[in-house]
Every structure is written in structure tokens, then in C-alpha cells.
A and B are shown apart, each in its own frame.
Chain A
Amino acid sequence: MSSHPMTSRPLYFIILSFLFTFFPSCGGSSIALAQAEPIDIATTQMIPDSEQVVVEPVTSLIAADHKYDDGGMIDLSWVPSIDDQLVASRVIGYKVYRIEDEGEPEMISELAPGSNTYNDQSVERGKLYSYFVSTLSINAETPSVRTAPIEPQREWLNYELLNVLIMALVLGGAVIYFIETARRGKKLFVRKIAGLEAVDEAIGRATEMGRPILFIPGILDMDDVQTLAALTILGRVARIIADYDTKIFMPVSRSLVMTAGRETIKASYQAAGRPDAYSDDMVTYITDEQFGYVAAVDGIMVREKPATCFLLGAFFAESLILAETGNSVGAIQIAGTARPAQLPFFIAACDFTLIGEELFAASAYLSGEPKQMGSLKGQDVGKAIAMAAILIGILTVTIGDAWNVEWIQNITTGLVDVFSTR
């Protein structure tokens, strides 16, 4: 199971912060400095027969609202106790206390020696919080002074990520602009993509030989863009297949992909004017399990001997097993994935391979619609920006570092800032 792909869930977390980030408010920032208002906390855990080790408290404790969030965080920072040393330290840690709306102090976290920040994520808007940090020795605890009460704020726009927003808008704008241009009838050139030139030929070959076509849409679910791309290609391929009257078979490893695949093929057959030739049996679910699915598909390949295999979508370790088996039964194989780790195997074992971005370009390319071609042109703008940034960046950073020219170094810093995500 360790080889099984991780679902994209952790990514949602990033997204979460992202969506958030963009949603605005302009709360004033409030910083509460510690005031001289000592708190009495009884020293804890007296150990008999040993002298109490009293350590110095932390200083300059600052509680500040966390920037660009929903108002659920407060950042604390302080200067560690002077007894907190790397070697032979008398400090064994810190405790962070919080006082909510002038209530009782409550210990919210224990930190390691050397810590000088804490991020309290369990605060609510509309309440006042003040904090103090106490320094722990082996048998005693020294509290710091207490901060003034502070209320967490909500901001509506994360200005730190403004550059990402702008870049995304530039790219999105480019794509939309070229789609519009194409829609108005301007002809756009798109270079040949070898694997896609072969699609017609591959389907024709299956027809001649009277053998089926196998379509494998990867092993991830509908929440992966590669699967979407594979299904859009399936739409075009199925259209041609319907015209040729060849058999298509699509074993899948996800129930949702099964449903979506059926819809796609059905639509293509309808568009080709042959809805009667469609049957639900063209798409079969096998199992969600990576290698169980592969075992079954291998069996199908050997028994049905397809003339053509499409392996398009998200693949993991199974890529080579499928491609080698397909190769051994003499099928023409057109593969494509955006998983860099699996591309070498497809290159080695398949006749044509759509490398990374080509997979996403494929459906646009196959459709031949100007609108879709326009989006490809938009992608190219993105690449041009990336290339320019790399070129300028490397030149300036090299020159700037080698000859220590400050203004050139500033260009680099600016450039890197434009592309930094945090």
C-alpha cells in the first residue's frame, strides 16, 4: 500500500489557505506589548532534597494578530531566558499561558528549550486575549510579564500572495484572450504532436484486424486533472471509433470514472449518430486496488489481444506492467501521463508517448476547434514568461554575485519575490 498514490487531500490544505488568502479585509494590526504586570504562578513540582533551580524569565514578549487570516490566530514571540543555553542549559522548556477575557490563566502549550515563537490557533474573534510565558527549570517555573489584551482580526485579502494572484490572472488572461481571438476566426498555428497524429492510424489498424481497442484512463479518480484530460481525449477517440465501428473496451479502477466514462462514450456515439451501437458494457469497473486492477487488466490484454492500447492518465508503478504486457501482445500503444516518474517506462515500452504537457494539449489538438487551440497559445505565453524569468534571473544573479553589483542584485531579489509563494 505504501506505493499507492496519496490522494490529493493534503493539497486541499494548501488550497484552503489559498482561497482564504485571497479574501480580504483590511484589519488594522494590533500588537500588544507585555506590560509590567507580573502574575503569580505557584512554582510547581518541588522535589525534596534538591535545591530549587530558579531560572530567568523570558523578555520582550509580544502578542500580535496573525496577518492575512480569518481571525483565528495570534502570534507570540519573545526573547528566550538568558539561562536557556545550548550547552548545560538550566532551562528545560517553556509553558505558554493564555488568559481569555480576564479569566483564569490556562496553559495552552509546552515548548522545547530554544523556542521563541508560538502560534495560537485556537482563538476566536470578538474575545480579548492576553498571554504570558513561563520558563521551566528542572523543578521550578518562572513566569514572564503579561501582555496587554489583544483581539484577533480578520483580513480579507492576503497581500503577501498578491503576486501569485497577479501572475495567475496574467496567465488566465492570456489563455482567455487567445481563446477569444481564435473564436473570432483568427487562425492559430499548432505544431504536430507525434502521438496524436497516430490516433487515426491506430484505430484504423484495430478495425482492419477486427480486434478491440483498450482504453485505460489511469488509476486516479475524477479529482485528478489527468483523469479529466484522459476522458476528454476518450471523447474524441470514441467519436472516431464510432465512425469506424470498432469495439472499444475500458476497464477502470474507480467507480466515478466508470460513470463518467460511460457518459463520455455515450455522448460520442450519439454525436456520431450511432446511439444504438453504444452499450454500458464498454466500461467496466474492476477494483480500486492498484495492483488488483493491474492483474485483471493484464489478463484482459492477454485474452482479448487488443490491437491498440491507450494508456492515458495518472499512472504509478503499474505503468510498466501494463505497457510491457500490451507490448507483448503486439498492440500499438499510445501512452501519456503527467507523472514524471512514470514517463521513462512509457517511453521505453510504448510506441508513442505524450510527455507531460502534451497530454493536456491532446484533447484541444484532437478537437481541432479554434477555441481549444487558443488555449494552447495561452499556455505558451506562460512558458515564455517562465523562460524569460529564468534567463534574466540567472544572468542577474550570476553577474550580481560575481561582481557584487548592488542594483543588479536588487533586480534578482525583486524577480525572486515576484515568484515567491510565501
Chain B
Amino acid sequence: MFVIQYFIPHYPFNRMSHWFSDWFAIILACAIVLGALNLMKISIQKVIKKKPGWGYAVVIIASFLLITIIGLSEGEGFREPGTWFDWLYVYVYTPCSSTMFAILGFFVASASYRAFRARNFEATLLLLAAFFVMIGRVPVGDIISGFMPEGARLSNLASWIMTFPQTAGQRAIMIGIALGIVSTSLRVILGIERAHLAGE
């Protein structure tokens, strides 16, 4: 296993990464069967044992089976407009995912309410940066600071923060991350890190 790990990344072939992505896709297709069966197993157990909330487990099973059967029976063109699969996608899947996404609007507010407090110098910087960028990006910001010279208006301040200090921070983080990834990959390749492989 060690040998496989070691050799694969260095295998001198241009097709290599193509193969890897193809194989990975195929493995995924098989693995999702495991995942789906696990979800079904847990839901069915809930129903059989009449655990609290078993009614919802029935809904999970029903909706899962519904879309799977429809999707598999509709053949290759299952995604074309007008199919039942597409209907479920447009009228069930999409509203759910976009609402879940939209909930973020609320959480952004509650997180700022709680977290942006001037506890110490770092937190104050966090607060101020967020504040200026936030207000600099709606017209209200420029109305408030309209009396200032052009360069010092809030919208310009906001874009200055975004262009310079923000870039600096991002860059430091990125370089750090890349080095971290290199080092982690090396640990895996050298076999020092094997937690994910049942510590053979």
C-alpha cells in the first residue's frame, strides 16, 4: 500500500491525472451506494424501532425512493426540461437549497451582533474593518461622508481596505496554506501520517 502511494504521484505519464479523475469518479459512483444504503439503513431502523421522529424517517425514505426511481427510469436524458426529475429539481430541490443559502442573511446579522465587540485590540480591528467595508458598499455610506474630499469618502476607504491590507492578509494565509498542504502531503506519502488508514 505504501508503495502504491509512493509511486502513483510520480508515475511518469501524461494520462495519469486523467485516469485519476476518471477512476475517482467511478469509485465515487460506487461509494455513493454505500452512503445511500447507510442513510436508508438508519432511517429504516428508526421506523422499525419507532424511535422519536420516525415519521420523518418515512418521509426521507419516500422522497429518496421517489426521485431515485424517477431518475433512473427516465434514462440518460433525465435532466431535460419537462421530465419529472427536472420538475422535482426545479420545484423541490431548488427552493430548499436557495432558502438554506438565504438563511445566511440572518446568520450574518446575528453573528455580527454577537462577535463584533471591541473586546481587545484585535477584535476592534476586526470590527472596524468590517464596519467600514460594510457601510462603504451601500449608497448610505457616501451620503454620510459626502462632506469629505473625494479620496476620503467611505466607499474609497472600503476599496482601499479591500485592495491593500486585505490582500496582504490573504497572501500570508495562502502561502501558509500551500506550505501546510505540501508538508501534509509529504507526511502522507512518507507514511508518517496514517490515521485515515486504520493505523495499519
Q: Are A356 and B173 in contact (CB under 8 A)?
A: yes
Q: Are B186 and A375 in contact (CB under 8 A)?
A: yes
Q: Are A264 and B196 in contact (CB under 8 A)?
A: yes
Q: Are B184 and A228 in contact (CB under 8 A)?
A: yes
Contacts of B180 in A (CB 8 A): 229, 338, 356-361, 379
1/0 contact trace for A332-374 toward B, CB 8 Å?
Answer: 0000001010010101110000011111110110000101100
Q: Are A19 and B17 in contact (CB under 8 A)?
A: yes
* CB contact under 8 A between A176 and B32, given known A12-B18, A16-B17, A264-B196: no
Contacts of B118 in A (CB 8 A): none
Q: Does A139 contact B (CB under 8 A)?
A: no
Q: Are B97 and A289 in contact (CB under 8 A)?
A: yes
- Name the residue on B nearest A156 (C-beta): B12
- Name the residue on A nearest B53 (C-beta): A303
Q: Does B28 contact A (CB under 8 A)?
A: yes
Q: Are A228 and B196 in contact (CB under 8 A)?
A: yes
Complexed CA–CA distance, A271 and B33 (Å): 30
Q: Are A360 and B38 in contact (CB under 8 A)?
A: no
Pick from B13, B21, B42: contact of A19, CB below 8 A.
B13
- Output the least CB separation between A281 and chain B (Å): 7
Interface residues of B in 169-200 (CB under 8 A from A): 170, 173-177, 179-188, 190, 192-193, 195-199
Q: Are A294 and B100 in contact (CB under 8 A)?
A: yes
Complexed CA–CA distance, A268 and B24 (Å): 27
Q: Does B14 contact A (CB under 8 A)?
A: yes
- Output the least CB separation between B86 and chain A (Å): 14
1/0 contact trace for A7-20 toward B, CB 8 Å?
Answer: 00100110110011
Pick from B33, B93, B100, B183: contact of A379, CB below 8 A.
B183
Complexed CA–CA distance, A85 and B129 (Å): 50
Interface residues of A in 29-77 (CB under 8 A from B): 70
Q: Are B181 and A376 in contact (CB under 8 A)?
A: no
Q: Does B116 contact A (CB under 8 A)?
A: yes
Complexed CA–CA distance, A355 and B183 (Å): 16
Q: Does A120 contact B (CB under 8 A)?
A: no
Contacts of B107 in A (CB 8 A): 320-321, 324
- Output the least CB separation between A345 and chain B (Å): 7
Q: What's the dominant secondary structure at chain A's contact region? A: helix
Q: Does B161 contact A (CB under 8 A)?
A: no
Interface range, A side:
35 or more
Q: Does B59 contact A (CB under 8 A)?
A: no
Q: Are B39 and A284 in contact (CB under 8 A)?
A: yes
- Output the least CB separation between A80 and chain B (Å): 33
Q: Are A291 and B97 in contact (CB under 8 A)?
A: yes
Pick from B42, B176, B198: contact of A263, CB below 8 A.
B198
- Output the least CB separation between B178 and chain A (Å): 9
Q: Are B17 and A15 in contact (CB under 8 A)?
A: yes
Q: Does A26 contact B (CB under 8 A)?
A: no
Residues of chain B at interface, number, CB under 8 A: 62
* CB contact under 8 A between A258 and B38, given known A171-B182, A320-B107, A382-B182: yes
Pick from A175, A179, A264, A349: contact of B198, CB below 8 A.
A264
- Name the residue on A nearest B13 (C-beta): A19
Q: Does B101 contact A (CB under 8 A)?
A: yes
- Name the residue on A nearest B33 (C-beta): A255
* CB contact under 8 A between A383 and B179, given known A12-B18, A266-B198, A288-B32: yes
Interface residues of B in 1-41 (CB under 8 A from A): 10-14, 16-18, 20-21, 24, 27-28, 31-36, 38-39
Complexed CA–CA distance, A1 and B96 (Å): 11
- Name the residue on A nearest B171 (C-beta): A390
1/0 contact trace for B73-103 toward A, CB 8 Å?
Answer: 0000000000000000000010011001101
Complexed CA–CA distance, A338 and B185 (Å): 15
Contacts of A16 in B (CB 8 A): 14, 16-18
Q: Does A236 contact B (CB under 8 A)?
A: yes
Contacts of B20 in A (CB 8 A): 12
- Output the least CB separation between A234 and chain B (Å): 7
Q: Are A360 and B16 in contact (CB under 8 A)?
A: no
Pick from A228, A236, A263, A286: contact of B39, CB below 8 A.
A286
Interface-centre pick from A9, A13, A70, A376 (highest chain B CB count, 10 A) = A9
Q: Are B182 and A172 in contact (CB under 8 A)?
A: yes
Q: Are B34 and A349 in contact (CB under 8 A)?
A: no
Q: Does B111 contact A (CB under 8 A)?
A: yes
Complexed CA–CA distance, A168 and B186 (Å): 11
Q: Are A321 and B104 in contact (CB under 8 A)?
A: yes
Interface residues of A in 279-298 (CB under 8 A from B): 281, 284-292, 294-295
Q: Does B108 contact A (CB under 8 A)?
A: yes
Contacts of B198 in A (CB 8 A): 263-264, 266-267
Q: Can you name 24 A-B residue pairings with CB atoms under 8 Å?
A: A9-B21, A13-B17, A20-B14, A179-B190, A225-B185, A229-B180, A231-B196, A232-B195, A254-B31, A259-B31, A263-B196, A284-B38, A290-B97, A292-B96, A294-B100, A317-B101, A321-B107, A340-B177, A364-B187, A372-B187, A375-B183, A375-B186, A382-B182, A382-B183
Chain A residues near B (Cβ < 8 Å): 1, 3, 9, 12-13, 15-16, 19-20, 22-23, 70, 168, 171-172, 175-176, 179, 221, 223, 225, 228-229, 231-232, 234-236, 254-256, 258-260, 263-264, 266-268, 270-271, 281, 284-292, 294-295, 317, 320-321, 323-324, 327, 338, 340, 343, 345, 347-349, 355-361, 363-364, 369, 371-372, 375-376, 378-379, 382-383, 386
- Additional A-B contacts beyond A176-B186, A359-B180 (19; CB < 8 A): A19-B10, A235-B195, A264-B196, A267-B199, A271-B199, A284-B42, A285-B34, A289-B97, A317-B101, A321-B103, A338-B181, A347-B115, A348-B112, A357-B177, A361-B180, A363-B195, A372-B192, A379-B182, A382-B179
